[in-house]
Structure 1
């Protein structure tokens, strides 16, 4: 009998960090249940190194033999798998299908309800675009956006791995009921309650930021870009490392931002309604814990207009000079 690979593809902002951290914290529990969360392809807390290996078409016989050597079923998890092209998925499937059964796990979070989280995640990793600019191309052509029209990705996964091997988690329903982790690991035969998530606050976290902090980091990223530094999370990390040194400046900036706050309604967009019909129609038997969602929420952001306030640009530049002190600028 073949070993099974559970391929967890995310997407971003659907609890992947929680699941990956739980997998690390409960490796012994997983192994007791015939599941390996391997070090192979491992980077940070997920199997992100597999992404470039697939893109280079470089999965080797040695890679396959290492996976088989554990003798267990295998969980491979990376939210970056979601960026694969159809050709990447086809290559990954053809590389693994001879030796493994492959089950794909995809968490469906309603598109417009995760827009703010996706934008904030980009800012955390060096992104410079304001919120509305970040989603401009997605919103003017929603039918061509894999981010918003999630049926596009599900159809590709079903085509290459088989519809019967696709497991869709209703993220919104599961997160609301606190069942995301238990249902995820239940797919692998692990009973509810076996997975201990009490250590989730230790070490790796991916906490949400308040709108003011997000905007400060975005502006600092812009200055790093102008300094020709590579886009990464380093500016944010430096900001947090030196945050105590710039508290007075931060408060002045927050006072200015208070006058330029935007509120955007999300939820029940056209693309949400379309996916709410099409995904259950096409994949009703593949969705776990489905519950219709039609609620709305307000997204609070800081308008870039705050930078036109007197001293605003000077305050941000002063913060940047302090937190990036000692960093080699081009």
Structure 2
């Protein structure tokens, strides 16, 4: 078994995709510093299959991972799905690592920004949840962890229970993401102390859409055909945003104007349950922050507007359904997911 395992657990919407792409494409550079980024468990650039194995879908993969890790001194694993593992899954992961000391790297983000970004991402992945329904999942166990808002106290408490609080380091996304290119360089230097090589620069990879476009995508999820598989649904949202950028249809400005006139839902650091969550994190885990705790507690606000389906005219519903069918008709039955 390796002498040191560094586990980057995300969570979602904290720059993980850009970091993982950087790690995967620079495995040889990391190896020069004695850091091994395993092949076992990779799904694209991230070790998502390691987390899935901990949910019991392929426990043999964990044995394969242990065999690969045995040949290296320092092993680095990255998967934002690990932060969402329940107690049973984390116990299985801890057992797979034997007696080797595990270091946990958790990237925290101001909650109003994190929740808004995570909800938008779920819509791009084909979900139909309104923002209010999404927030309700923060306090209700739906049995669907992929739809639960990524609240840090739950994650940190569970991780520390199995790996120990002395293994935890917390990086603040908001403190270090002013320059996207430097994000990866700073991350690698803070965790491994190996400087600022140019290969560790990062770039934004996820598609950024305007808020009204995300809401249009949500209504496409509601009104569209549900027979598409997951990769197709994800690819459909990508094609929607590309279509809007290339050729906005004549009814879209009206949709955007109606969206802009809707009353927003406001989340801020002063929202009661958000303030309580962030303060609890600061009090309980403040000593584990690599960045100043104040960078996490700084004032911030997000506004999300919603257009209930009943507010859309029959013609607008028809236009959205027609666009969905047009885009869906040209989808690859099995598009790549990487």
Match of 1:320 among 313, 320, 324: 324
Residue in 2 that maps onto 1:16: 16
Q: Cα distance, 1:111 vs. partner? A: 1.9
Kindly indicate whether residue 267 of structure 2 is the aligned counterpart of residue 266 of structure 1. yes
Q: What are the within-5 Å matches in structure 2 for residues 7-86 of structure 1?
A: 7-56=7-56, 57-69=59-71, 71-86=72-87
Match of 1:294 among 268, 291, 298: 298
Q: What are the within-5 Å matches in structure 2 for residues 69-148 of structure 1?
A: 69=71, 71-98=72-99, 100-138=100-138, 147=149
Structure 1: how far apart are the matches of 2:83 and 2:109? 14
Q: Cα distance, 1:317 vs. partner? A: 1.7
Task: Summarize the Cα distance change of 1:198–1:306 in structure 2 as closer, same or farther, 3 Å threshold.
Answer: farther
Residue in 1 that maps onto 2:192: 189
Kindly provide the CA deviation profile for residues 73-115 of structure 1, in whole angstroms up to 9, marking residues without a partner as x.
11111111122101211111112123x3211111111222211
Task: Summarize the Cα distance change of 1:296–1:189 in structure 2 as closer, same or farther, 3 Å threshold.
Answer: closer
Q: Cα distance, 1:192 vs. partner? A: 3.6
TM-score (norm 2): 0.82
Q: Is the 8 A contact 1:89 1:160 kept in 2?
A: yes
Residue in 1 that maps onto 2:283: 281
SS at match of 1:128: coil
SS at match of 2:276: helix
Task: Summarize the Cα distance change of 1:283–1:199 in structure 2 as closer, same or farther, 3 Å threshold.
Answer: closer
Residue in 2 that maps onto 1:152: 154
TM-score (norm 1): 0.84
Q: Cα distance, 1:164 vs. partner? A: 0.9
Q: Is the 8 A contact 1:34 1:72 kept in 2?
A: yes
Q: Count how many residue pairs are aligned between Structure 1 and Structure 2.
A: 318
Q: Flag structure 1 segments of 5+ consecutive residues without an equivalent.
A: none
Q: Flag structure 2 segments of 5+ consecutive residues without an equivalent.
A: 142-146, 334-338
Q: Cα distance, 1:162 vs. partner? A: 1.0
Kindly provide the CA deviation profile for residues 12-57 of structure 1, in whole angstroms up to 9, marking residues without a partner as x.
0011012112212332331122112222111111011112211214
Structure 1: how far apart are the matches of 2:308 and 2:220? 13
Structure 2: how far apart are the matches of 1:90 and 1:159? 10
Structure 1: how far apart are the matches of 2:218 and 2:301? 23
Structure 2: how far apart are the matches of 1:26 and 1:245? 32
Structure 1: how far apart are the matches of 2:245 and 2:267? 36
Of stretches 301-310 and 316-325 in structure 1, the one that deviates more from structure 2 is 301-310
Q: Cα distance, 1:306 vs. partner? A: 8.0
Task: Summarize the Cα distance change of 1:321–1:279 in structure 2 as closer, same or farther, 3 Å threshold.
Answer: closer
Residue in 2 that maps onto 1:255: 254
Kindly provide the CA deviation profile for residues 120-169 of structure 1, in whole angstroms up to 9, marking residues without a partner as x.
1101111112222222232689xxx9736421221111110011111111
Q: What are the within-5 Å matches in structure 2 for residues 186-225 of structure 1?
A: 186-198=189-201, 200=203, 205-224=205-224
CA RMSD of aligned residues (A): 3.0
Q: Cα distance, 1:5 vs. partner? A: 1.4
